[in-house]
């Protein structure tokens, strides 16, 4: 796969080399190209994509990770509610192949989850993803098929991060907008 960034990842960056900033309008083209190489032509059919299309992402929680000042990874967050409980849906999370395995993905997840969960009335961050990756970041499996998306989704991949440890067992209903 071709790297999106002109900077080759010859060196493993020190933590000092990794920085996170809010997404800007001029990042749109880079993010769309990264989306295409990360998820391919099937990306528009994904259940999480449908939620984002219907509700719209929150630009204040969409962030970019940079390595030595070059764009390396992107994450977006969408405000959602499930059964009257307000939270955010995380995704897509994508790292430029030239910068993978350097901690950018994990750093972005931690950063935007901290920001989201610090907001008044926000009880959880939900995502559809691999438990092997997100489990170590605190995400837990939800009750199978309790959370319904506008499209098919593998219920084993519906994961939640919530300060209230009991929420994952009772969160149920359609994924919809805040009301």
Ligand X SMILES: CC(C)(COP(=O)(O)OP(=O)(O)OC[C@H]1O[C@@H](n2cnc3c(N)ncnc32)[C@H](O)[C@@H]1OP(=O)(O)O)[C@@H](O)C(=O)NCCC(=O)NCCS
Residues that bind ligand X (CB under 6 A): 38, 73, 93-95, 100-106, 129-130, 132-133
Closer Cβ to ligand X, 34 or 171, answer by number = 34
Token pair 């990794």 is at which residue?
18
Helix (H, G, I), strand (E, B) or coil at 146: coil
Closer Cβ to ligand X, 65 or 85, answer by number = 65
Closer Cβ to ligand X, 36 or 130, answer by number = 130
Minimum CB distance to ligand X, residue 105 (Å): 3
Closer Cβ to ligand X, 73 or 116, answer by number = 73
Minimum CB distance to ligand X, residue 14 (Å): 14
Largest pairwise CA distance in the chain: 48
Between the CA of residue 170 and those of 5, 25, 51, what are the distances in Å? 43, 38, 21
Closer Cβ to ligand X, 29 or 83, answer by number = 29
Please compute, for residue 103, the number of CA atoms within 13 A of its CA located in the half-sphere on the CB side. Answer: 12
The per-type count for the chain, helices as H runs and strands as E runs, is: 5, 9
CB 90 within 8 A of CB 109: yes
Closer Cβ to ligand X, 28 or 130, answer by number = 130
Minimum CB distance to ligand X, residue 120 (Å): 28
Minimum CB distance to ligand X, residue 96 (Å): 8
Cα 31 to chain centroid, rounded: 13
Minimum CB distance to ligand X, residue 121 (Å): 26
Minimum CB distance to ligand X, residue 100 (Å): 3
Buried b (16+ CB within 10 A) or exposed e, 53-80: eebebbeebbbbbbbeebbbbbbbbbbb
| Of 9, 145, 139, nearest in space to 66 by CA | 9
């Amino acid at each position: 796969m071709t790297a999106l960034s002109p900077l080759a990842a010859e060196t493993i960056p020190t933590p000092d080399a990794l920085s996170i900033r809010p997404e800007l309008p001029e990042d749109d083209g880079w993010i769309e190209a990264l989306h295409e190489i990360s998820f391919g032509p099937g990306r528009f059919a994904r259940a999480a994509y449908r939620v984002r299309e219907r509700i719209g992402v929150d630009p204040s929680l969409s962030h970019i990770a940079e390595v030595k000042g070059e764009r390396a990874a992107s994450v977006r967050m969408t405000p959602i509610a499930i059964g009257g409980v307000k939270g955010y849906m995380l995704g897509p999370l994508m790292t430029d192949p030239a910068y993978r395995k350097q901690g950018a993905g994990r750093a972005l997840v931690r950063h935007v989850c901290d920001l989201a969960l610090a907001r008044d009335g926000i009880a959880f961050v939900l995502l559809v993803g691999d438990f092997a990756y997100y489990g170590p970041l605190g995400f837990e499996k939800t009750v199978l098929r309790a959370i319904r998306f506008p499209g098919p989704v593998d219920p084993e991949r519906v994961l939640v991060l919530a300060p209230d440890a009991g929420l994952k067992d009772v969160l149920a209903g359609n994924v919809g907008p805040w009301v």
